[in-house]
Amino acid sequence: MSRDYDVCVIGSGAGGGPVAWTLAKAGFSVLVLEKGPWLREEDFYKDELACCRRAVYTPDLKDEQHVIEEGDDEGGWQATPTSVSGWNFWNGNMVGGASNLMSGYFHRLKPEDFRLLSEFGPIDGANVVDWPISYDELEPYYAKVERVVGVSGRVVEHPNAEPRSTPDFPYPPTREHAISGWIDQACKDLGYHPLPVPRAVLSRPDHGRHSCSYSGYCGSYGCATGAKGSARAALLNEVVAEGNCQIRPHAKVHRLVSDARGRIVEAEYFDADGKNRKVSAELFVVACQPIESARLLLFSRGPKYPRGLGNRFGQIGRNLVFSAGGAGHGYLVYDDLPEERTKQLREVGPFVNRALHDWYFIDDPDLAPKNRRIKGGMVEFLFGHPNPVARAEQSKWRDGELLWGLPLKRRLESWFLEDRRLDFEVFNDWLPTDNCFVTLDGNTRDRWGTPVSKVRIGFHPHDLEVGRYLVAKGENVLRKMGARFISSGVSGAPPQNLVSGGCRFGVDPKTSALDRDCRVHDVDNLYVTDGSFMPTGGSVPQTWTIYANAFRVADRLVARLGGSKEKPA
């Protein structure tokens, strides 16, 4: 039976882009179906309203939403549609997905992350498991991401440094703000080991992409120069130009059709006009992002899959994980600083690029009794966006009182002219539990009439304990730097842009949704390559790991299809 394409990839972000790039480079015909629009560099202007106040890069919640279940004070769960709460769980619906909007902080997982259960033991109430692959198997693909997607940085000796197959990054570090040196000194005075942060941002032009313009608007914004290593700029643009890859934007895939044997034969999608279309392929790859990938598989029932694709043992949607942790900030007041330092601090654009991995593993008896080492996390330093609207919004309250008139004007004047805020973010593992998962909502539907995802977001108390420990370390650095008005917090509410799991990979179909190559158990020609595969999320942003694993799986798909059709150059 003839097929329209060799491979159909659903979703075009960090999970889908490497698959499309690799298969197209190997000479196979690839179709990418993307629900969102196809935006280019010229569309990514630095508009704060478009970025952060209106639904320009994400769907309108009246048309597409989620239903979020949160724990109440009585031990139950309260479900609220996001169209009511305004809590937006979309990360970026466009060609290239949320990778267009990432900050590009790139940290590898460490070898211990792949064997969390073996290294640190079980935790009551948490579904912690070892990964079915090792760090050594993924390491060559971390290195490949550095070259192909483009990662700028420098390698330094560090107590918790992970092994590398290459001596350094292929691109020199991005330009750093003077405050990076201040952080270095404060950390060294405290006995900490500051780490330069690699960025998926080109520090010099390459591969037809420009280097960073240092506008000060990076995370949450699209990149107007192509420097940021989005799947669109770094991967898809190239293979579309070469001819083996096609992209269909505004293609909302709502069902995968399976035959009596259990193979996927077609993807059904609504086009820009709302018409139902179908496309066939030999292999199908789902990379919609974890919540939506689980939703698609659950909705795609068939003759052999009455509970949804690969859901014979109820594993689809289970063990969803976010990133636990917290955040803090302090204010560096200009009047407290020498004139030269004040001048340096006012500069907008260069990156801070500093993190602490000192407590990625914690031996402190106050937190880890019985001399047992536990998994910790990291602290990342950054400036907040120079967004005037958001900053003005933050200044309208003082001591719980809403300011008006002259007091508000004076507060705004102080907010913008007298100091600068330095932030830190804490990342640690969000432990997988039975109370964090995705199902289909029985009442709420999207604008195409299909059930939306219901997401329960239960967290484990251990997440908060580790987060509080790390937040205290971040505060120590700000205090050493002389910052004023230091505050911080740790919360069980998840960051919507850092989500993985839901279709974890493993060996046993009774406890995992995918095999070690990310093929859906019981479905011969269906793979999932976004962050869904991760059994545990690690204590760093997951994008680099998602990229690396997608390149790894893509190589398996090339081999499955008989090897590359292209002759080596």
At 202 the pLDDT is: 97
At 399 the pLDDT is: 76
At 359, which amino acid appears? W
Q: Is residue 80 part of a domain?
A: no
**How many folded domains does the chain comprise?**
1
Q: What is the pLDDT of residues 555-567, one digit of tens each?
A: 999 999 999 987 6
Q: Where are the beta strands (DSSP E) in 37-185?
A: 67-71, 77-81
At 568 the pLDDT is: 59
Q: What is the DSSP letter of 449?
A: S
Q: Is residue 166 part of a domain?
A: no
Q: 403 or 439, which is more confident? A: 439
Reference 37, options 115, 90, 97, 102; nearest CA is: 97
Q: Where are the beta strands (DSSP E) in 400-471?
A: 401-402, 419-429, 436-445, 451-457
At 1 the pLDDT is: 60
Q: Is residue 481 part of a domain?
A: yes
Any idea how long the chain is?
569
Q: Is residue 379 part of a domain?
A: yes
Q: Is residue 322 part of a domain?
A: yes
Q: Is residue 490 part of a domain?
A: yes
CB atoms within 10 A of CB 426: 30
Reference 373, options 109, 126, 160, 108; nearest CA is: 160
Domain extent for 305: 5-67+89-158+175-211+220-560
The CATH number covering residue 383 comes to: 3.50.50.60
At 149 the pLDDT is: 98
Reference 276, options 303, 255, 301; nearest CA is: 255
Pure H helices in 81-178:
82-85, 116-120, 135-145
| Residue indicated by tokens 């608007």 | 217
Q: What is the pLDDT of residues 228-285, one digit of tens each?
A: 999 999 999 999 999 999 999 999 999 999 999 999 999 999 999 999 999 999 999 9
pLDDT-based confidence at 438, cuts 50/70/90?
very high
Q: Among 92-106, 136-150, 314-328, 376-390, which is the least confidently predicted range?
A: 376-390
C-alpha–C-alpha distance, residues 284 and 259, integer Å: 14
- 364-367 long-range CB contacts below 8 Å, 24 or more apart? 364/469, 367/465, 367/466, 367/469
Bridge partners of 320, per DSSP, are 501
Q: Is residue 18 part of a domain?
A: yes
Note the pTM of the prediction, 2 decimals: 0.96
C-alpha–C-alpha distance, residues 148 and 24, integer Å: 15
At 370 the pLDDT is: 67
Q: Is residue 519 part of a domain?
A: yes
